[in-house]
Chain A
Amino acid sequence: MIALTRPGLSCAVFAAFVLPAMVGTAQAATLDDIRAADELKCGINTGLAGFANTDDAGNWVGFDVDYCKALAAAVLGDSGKVQYVSLTGKNRFPALQAGEIEVLARNTTWTLSRDVDLGLTFVGVNYYDGQGFIGPKSLGISSAGELDGASVCIQTGTTTELNLADFFRTNNITYEPVPIETNSEARAAYEAERCDVYTSDASGLAATRATFDNPNDHVILPEIISKEPLGPLVRHGDDQWADIARWVLNALISAEELGVTQANVEALAQTDGGSDNPEIQRMLGSAGSMGKMLGLDADWAARAIKAVGNYGEIFARHLGPDTRLGLERGLNALYTDGGILYSPPFR
């Protein structure tokens, strides 16, 4: 029993050896930090179908995860060198501000206050979303304006509650909010008819609808009550790093526009016998010195595309019609295909 009076010993040992191993330090230049650690710390969702979830082998996969991989491939040359940090709605911004992650790719809406007041920099939009409603067909409603007196399930944590309150207020109708934090519970509540309609980002609604037993019994109402441009973001104050994060995203989008795919990128990137298109040459580093301008080597973009494919391929792999979520490209099609996805030129 005396043993119990001396656990101090174990504690001292723990403090002396284990603590230092778990305490890191953060420095100023983000790119140098990442290279020194040989690992990119990327903030992702705690689990959102299609955007960030785990496969049966326990690896993170998804639309946002692939952006992390592309960035790691561009910066470190290996898409596997990512440390994924799962963040909730509460701690995603503090984590980025405090330097626990270098980039946040967690379906985060680009708003003025976040961009300015929270000291963050959005580097672009990788998914154009908007808040909508889904309801059972049997209710016979065709517009969200008819929802007077309805119960509305809300997946909380973003700007969803505020948009909803604004919408009902401006339309001068009443409702009962049922705010629930996770999609699986919110979905269960909607299925049990705890509420008449379920509101969330339209992408999430379509994905949710696809997984119902009878998807055709549910309709997505035509109203989109908010703009939700989702995109990756970094801290204020390191423009070089923000540039890298921005142009990796642009490279993925441009690659789709230019027809560069995971399969053909190596062939196209060859100095001899590669692509004849000067923009492809500049992007993939067979001509010009764009990599150097960013502080990277010449074939940074080629590596990123080689790792995860172009934007279209990423979308198809995790969200597109061949997946269980079955999302259409919609707004997220290239501007040449009727969407609004548009990358500035590589020039």
Chain B
Amino acid sequence: MFFRDQSEMLPARAAPITEVGIVGWLRINLFSSYPNSALTLVSLTLLLLVVPPFIDWVLIKAQFSGDTGEACSGIGACWAWVDQRLGQFFYGFYPAEAHWRVNVTAVLLVPAILYVLVDNLPGAKFGRWFSYVYPLLAAYLLVGGFGLEVISSDKFGGFMLNMIVGLTGIVLSLPIGVLLALGRQSRLPVIRLFSIAFIEAVRGVPLITLLFVAIVLLQLFLPPEVSLDQLLRVIIMVTLFASAYMAEVVRGGLQAIPKGQIEGAQAVGLGYWQTMRLIVLPQALRISIPGIVNTFIGLFKDTTLVIIIGLFDLLGHARLLQTNPDWIGDVDHEAYLFSAAVFFLVCFLMSRYSVSLEKQLSKDRH
């Protein structure tokens, strides 16, 4: 046996080259074992096979100017339509001289949403009122009347239509969803049964069947002298659709509220509606916000389905471009790719927000 009298610390040796710096990072994160190295190599090959040719087609070999599809070579992407059609892709048939109305509506949307979602903003009291009034203001700006030129809803289109259908659907579905969620937990059997039946029936069918109802059947259900605007009919069905999903999100929030809260509220003499409005719902809705945002993202993507019933959303205008004799056959992929990019950008940002909110919430709870 060997003992060594050690009275002082040995100087620390530098970490081996294989564990630090770029090499170390590579070793730990990419090549820690044989299977891992194999995975890395496979992934790298995959990326190299897909990314460079794609960039080459989309940007490097692409054509950016020209009046018709004939200007495009076909080797690269054809983006010559963008400068003429961009307005239609975003505003549909909305008259160009009134585009500012859409822009103002879009800009005002930001504070309207922020004041609902974020606490402790300066001027919160005024801001909340602004949020309540916003839908009315938006409707006034977009539709017109009272001094503004009236623009009928068949002029709405492009990405603006996706936003309108999605946002109106989600805002209108929230109160209905809350009522349905409360109804599902109600002690009154009729209310409970009705809520369950409604929620499950709507969640059980695809949105496009409801959209078919909107354009083909809804008119049949109403007295002949009433005729609803096409957009309004779509919004009605989208709202019904979204409220069933909203109900399930809110139910999740309601179930997370401890029983003690409700018992406490009853102990101080609050009635059912007071308990819900003052104690339960504010907490439950707060927990549900990530779910609500996710429902919105889902709904927002689903607004593209209006193309199947003949409305011209962003995708609809992409199709219109594809059927224009000047561009036919030259922009089949490009128009769709552009739409995909727009949706990705918006939905990705929203889902990031939803994730960060979730993290914030779980931090608050612990």
Interface residues in chain A, defined as those with a beta carbon under 8 Å from any beta carbon in chain B: 1-11, 13-14, 17-19, 21-27, 46-50, 53-56, 58, 83-88, 90-91, 94-95, 98-100, 182-184, 187-188, 191, 207, 211-213, 323-325
Residues of A with C-beta under 8 A to B135: 10-11, 13-14
Q: List 6 A-B contacts (CB under 8 A).
A: A10-B171, A11-B135, A25-B225, A49-B325, A58-B87, A184-B319
A22 to B144, CA, bound (A): 12
For A53, give its contact among B178, B225, B231, B325 (CB under 8 Å). Answer: B325
Residues of B with C-beta under 8 A to A324: 68, 325-326, 328
Give 1 or 0 for each of B328-365: 1 = CB within 8 Å of chain A CB.
11001000000000000000000000000000000000
Please name 15 further chain A to chain B contacts, defined as beta carbons within 8 Å, in addition to the given A3-B131, A14-B136, A27-B225, sorted by A numbering: A4-B286, A7-B174, A9-B132, A10-B134, A10-B135, A24-B229, A48-B323, A49-B325, A58-B96, A83-B154, A86-B312, A98-B224, A187-B328, A188-B332, A211-B325
Across the interface, do B328 and A211 meet the contact criterion of CB distance under 8 Å?
yes
Across the interface, do A87 and B175 meet the contact criterion of CB distance under 8 Å?
no
CB distance from B299 to the nearest CB of A (A): 16
Give 1 or 0 for each of B97-131: 1 = CB within 8 Å of chain A CB.
00000000000000000011001000000001001
Give 1 or 0 for each of B13-40: 1 = CB within 8 Å of chain A CB.
0000000000000000000000000000
Give 1 or 0 for each of B172-185: 1 = CB within 8 Å of chain A CB.
10110010000000
Residues of A with C-beta under 8 A to B216: 90-91, 94
A11 to B133, CA, bound (A): 10
Across the interface, do A54 and B88 meet the contact criterion of CB distance under 8 Å?
yes
Across the interface, do B219 and A100 meet the contact criterion of CB distance under 8 Å?
yes
| Known contacts A3-B128, A11-B172; A85 and B323 CB within 8 A of each other | no
Q: Looking at chain B's contact residues, is the secondary structure mostly helix, strand, loop, or mixed?
A: helix
Interface residue? B74 (CB, 8 A): yes
Across the interface, do B285 and A26 meet the contact criterion of CB distance under 8 Å?
no
Residues of A with C-beta under 8 A to B212: 90
Interface residue? B228 (CB, 8 A): yes
CB distance from B79 to the nearest CB of A (A): 14
Q: Which of B239-284 contact A (CB under 8 A)?
A: 277, 281-282
Across the interface, do B232 and A22 meet the contact criterion of CB distance under 8 Å?
yes
Residues of B with C-beta under 8 A to A84: 154
Across the interface, do A1 and B119 meet the contact criterion of CB distance under 8 Å?
yes
Residues of A with C-beta under 8 A to B196: none
Residues of A with C-beta under 8 A to B154: 83-85
Across the interface, do B325 and A94 meet the contact criterion of CB distance under 8 Å?
no
Across the interface, do A23 and B139 meet the contact criterion of CB distance under 8 Å?
no
Across the interface, do A94 and B219 meet the contact criterion of CB distance under 8 Å?
yes
Residues of A with C-beta under 8 A to B219: 94, 98, 100
A47 to B311, CA, bound (A): 11
Interface residue? B65 (CB, 8 A): no
Across the interface, do B323 and A6 meet the contact criterion of CB distance under 8 Å?
no
| Known contacts A212-B329, A324-B326; A21 and B145 CB within 8 A of each other | yes
CB distance from B175 to the nearest CB of A (A): 5
For B231, give its contact among A6, A22, A325 (CB under 8 Å). Answer: A22
Q: Looking at chain A's contact residues, is the secondary structure mostly helix, strand, loop, or mixed?
A: mixed
Residue of A nearest to B171 (CB): A7
Residue of B nearest to A324 (CB): B325
A88 to B212, CA, bound (A): 11
Across the interface, do A4 and B310 meet the contact criterion of CB distance under 8 Å?
no
Across the interface, do B227 and A99 meet the contact criterion of CB distance under 8 Å?
yes
Residues of A with C-beta under 8 A to B74: 213
CB distance from B77 to the nearest CB of A (A): 16
Interface residue? B322 (CB, 8 A): yes
Residues of B with C-beta under 8 A to A13: 132-133, 135-136
What is the number of contacts between chain A and chain B, taking CB atoms within 8 Å?
Answer: 165
A54 to B134, CA, bound (A): 33
Interface residue? B215 (CB, 8 A): yes
Residues of B with C-beta under 8 A to A23: 226-229, 232
Interface residues in chain B, defined as those with a beta carbon under 8 Å from any beta carbon in chain A: 68, 74, 84-85, 87-88, 92-93, 96, 115-116, 119, 128, 131-136, 139, 143, 145, 152-154, 171-172, 174-175, 178, 212, 215-216, 219-220, 224-232, 277, 281-282, 285-286, 289, 308-312, 316, 319-320, 322-326, 328-329, 332
A117 to B171, CA, bound (A): 42
Across the interface, do B229 and A4 meet the contact criterion of CB distance under 8 Å?
no
For B84, give its contact among A56, A85, A213 (CB under 8 Å). Answer: A56
For A182, give its contact among B225, B285, B319 (CB under 8 Å). Answer: B319
A211 to B331, CA, bound (A): 12
A323 to B69, CA, bound (A): 14
Pairs of residues from A and B, 9 with the lowest C-beta to C-beta distance, nearest first: A47-B323, A22-B229, A56-B84, A98-B219, A88-B310, A184-B322, A10-B135, A18-B139, A324-B325
CB distance from B271 to the nearest CB of A (A): 16
Residues of B with C-beta under 8 A to A83: 152, 154
A182 to B289, CA, bound (A): 39
| Known contacts A9-B132, A10-B132, A188-B332; A49 and B228 CB within 8 A of each other | no
Most buried by A among B92, B136, B316: B136
Across the interface, do A4 and B227 meet the contact criterion of CB distance under 8 Å?
no
A93 to B311, CA, bound (A): 16
Across the interface, do A5 and B281 meet the contact criterion of CB distance under 8 Å?
yes
A211 to B132, CA, bound (A): 52
Across the interface, do A58 and B93 meet the contact criterion of CB distance under 8 Å?
yes
Across the interface, do B174 and A4 meet the contact criterion of CB distance under 8 Å?
yes
CB distance from A319 to the nearest CB of B (A): 9
CB distance from B199 to the nearest CB of A (A): 19
Across the interface, do B175 and A47 meet the contact criterion of CB distance under 8 Å?
no
For A26, give its contact among B224, B281, B282, B309 (CB under 8 Å). Answer: B224
Across the interface, do B227 and A24 meet the contact criterion of CB distance under 8 Å?
yes
CB distance from B222 to the nearest CB of A (A): 9
Residue of B nearest to A191 (CB): B329
Residues of A with C-beta under 8 A to B145: 21
Residues of A with C-beta under 8 A to B115: 3
Residues of A with C-beta under 8 A to B320: 47, 53-54
CB distance from A190 to the nearest CB of B (A): 11
| Known contacts A13-B135, A53-B325, A98-B219; A22 and B172 CB within 8 A of each other | no
CB distance from A237 to the nearest CB of B (A): 12
Residues of B with C-beta under 8 A to A55: 324
CB distance from A322 to the nearest CB of B (A): 11
Residue of A nearest to B158 (CB): A58
| Known contacts A22-B229, A26-B225; A325 and B136 CB within 8 A of each other | no
Residues of B with C-beta under 8 A to A4: 116, 174, 282, 285-286, 289
